[in-house]
Amino acid sequence: MKAPPESAYIEFKDVQKAFGGKPVLRGMNLAVNKGEVMFIIGTSGVGKSVTIKHLIGLLRIDAGEIWFDGTRIDQIPERNLAPLRKRIGMVFQSSTLFDSMTLAENVALPLRKHQAMRHSVALEEANRRLAQVYMAEYADRYPAELSDGMRKRAAIARTLALGPEVVLFDEPTTGLDPVSARRVDRLIRELATTLGVTAIVVSHDPPSIFGIADRVAFLYQGKVHVVATPAELRASPDPVVQQFINGNSTGPMETPGF
């Protein structure tokens, strides 16, 4: 099924998702432009990570539609998802590197598995990808020898190995010190600026949100409450938005579960 030519690059249309009978997404709508850095924010449990996992088939929506580059993707069978997952990569909150492999071997793994590259060729490409995230000098190190921030950058390199058009980031700066967090922010921004990668970032980190986002989608009660630039978000008179930005414990977001 093809979308009309004016459709957004990525679009969620009236998406609904529940777990154990409890609704999480309640008719979510969001359009993402090609090449932009879109942040998805909101309180814990509101469905931010749930949203992006639908894009690569890790979760299945209960109702609605998801479109990518003119094609509806929410109905693609699991057995046919491999081409989509090459185009849309994901960096998980945990770096998920293999401790028994060097960084270069970790980054080379998807190339060997999905593109059947020879080991030596895959390692060459892995070193190139590590250089893109400023980790080339650590190619022969093992994950346990490195900091959380360095492992996160290596995980980004591994995701980039297959040349995705879109990269999904699930809380990429969580648990990192401020310096490492800002380095990860710089990488995400560079991916969009220099490689044209579309980035969708789930985050609670204000310096990231207001530092590198092109636009921000604020989830509230299972829907996109507002989509705005960082400057527009700061200036919004909406009490729900202001409560979140300022971290106030009292205000409209006192409903249990939100």
Q: What is the pLDDT along the chain (258 residues), one digit of tens a residue?
A: 555 445 689 999 999 999 999 999 999 999 999 999 999 999 988 999 999 999 999 999 999 999 999 999 999 999 999 999 999 999 988 778 899 999 999 999 989 888 878 888 999 999 999 998 999 999 999 999 999 999 999 999 999 998 999 999 999 999 899 999 999 999 999 999 999 999 999 998 999 999 999 999 999 999 999 999 999 999 999 999 999 988 877 777 755 443
What is the topology classification, in CATH, of domain 10-246?
Answer: Rossmann fold (3.40.50)
CB neighbours of residue 48 within 10 Å: 24
In contact, 23 and 16? CB cutoff 8 Å: yes
Write the CB contacts of 210 (distance below 8 Å, at least 6 apart in sequence).
230, 233, 234
In contact, 61 and 19? CB cutoff 8 Å: no
- Structure-token pair, residue 152: 């996160």
pTM assigned to the model: 0.90
- Structure-token pair, residue 189: 């921004």
Helix (H) or strand (E) holding 125: helix 119-132
Write the CB contacts of 196 (distance below 8 Å, at least 6 apart in sequence).
34, 35, 165
Q: Name the residue ranges covered by the structural domains of the chain.
A: 10-246
Read off φ and ψ for residue 128, nearest 5 degrees. Answer: -65, -40
Q: What is the pLDDT of residue 257?
A: 44
Q: What is the pLDDT of residue 53?
A: 96
Q: What is the pLDDT of residue 258?
A: 39
Helix (H) or strand (E) holding 14: strand 10-19
Collapsing DSSP to helix, strand or coil, 244 comes out as: helix
Q: What is the pLDDT of residue 252?
A: 79
